[in-house]
Chains A and B, each alone.
Chain A
Amino acid sequence: GAGVSQSPSNKVTEKGKDVELRCDPISGHTALYWYRQSLGQGLEFLIYFQGNSAPDKSGLPSDRFSAERTGGSVSTLTIQRTQQEDSAVYLCASSRLAGPYEQYFGPGTRLTVT
């Protein structure tokens, strides 16, 4: 079946501009996660959605970052007033309702802020 999809695959933007990154999870997966991975670094958790529950935003690095999930499916991560330090690969993952909650990743969006 179809895996997690993300768009765009690459995004180059100027410092100060806003960007939107999209994630479409695996059909039927109720949980959706956003991560950030800088070059040569580990995965940095950003935000987690589970069904209709309030999202866990504990990993968002600043109030310039926000995310929403519409209809329990597609999610959009928005970064306002981008900074050069926002340059990274943004990864989305989804998991099923039942355990053990293994996560499946999309191909990522490579964001470059110039």
Chain B
Amino acid sequence: QKEVEQNSGPLSVPEGAIASLNCTYSDRGSQSFFWYRQYSGKSPELIMFIYSNGDKEDGRFTAQLNKASQYVSLLIRDSQPSDSATYLCAVNAGNNRKLIWGLGTSLAVNP
């Protein structure tokens, strides 16, 4: 069974620090990788996606993908209290448009 695993947290970081969120996946055929943010009581919101090995940067966010290790991470630089949320990792395998979802990591940024 295809799985996506994340530490549930909570991950607590001080304001201004770098938050590092990690995700591993079981299906080596996975091709696209997504990070979503979900505030309490709200629906998931796409932060960014990555499909090539290496780093992809978008503002304060950097996604890192290592297909050999089946590992994808999200770095949040200069963390702000407004970044406090649950971060969901999702993985797409091949041409199937379904995403396999992790359970999410709760992040708390402390002022």
Chain B interface mostly: strand
Give chain B residues whose Cβ lies under 8 Å from the Cβ of A50. Answer: 97
A42→B46 CA distance, assembly (Å): 16
Q: Which residue of B lies closest to A48 (CB)?
A: B98
**B:24-50 near A, CB below 8 Å:** 31-32, 34, 42-46, 49
Task: Give the contact-size bracket for chain A.
Answer: 20 to 34
In residues 63-114 of chain A, which contact B (Cβ within 8 Å)? 89, 91, 95, 99-108
**B45-78 vs A: 1/0 string, CB under 8 Å?**
1100101000000000000000000000000000
Interface residues on B, range: 20 to 34
Taking CB atoms, residues of chain A closer than 8 Å to B104 are 42
Q: Which residue of B lies closest to A41 (CB)?
A: B103
Q: Which residues in A have their C-beta under 8 angstroms from that of B44?
A: 43, 91, 105
Provide 17 A-B residue pairs closer than 8 Å at the C-beta atoms, listed in order of the A residue: A31-B97, A41-B103, A45-B98, A45-B101, A56-B98, A95-B97, A100-B31, A100-B32, A100-B34, A100-B49, A101-B99, A103-B34, A103-B46, A104-B46, A105-B43, A105-B45, A106-B43
A residues adjacent to B (C-beta < 8 A) = 31, 33, 41-43, 45, 48, 50, 56, 89, 91, 95, 99-108
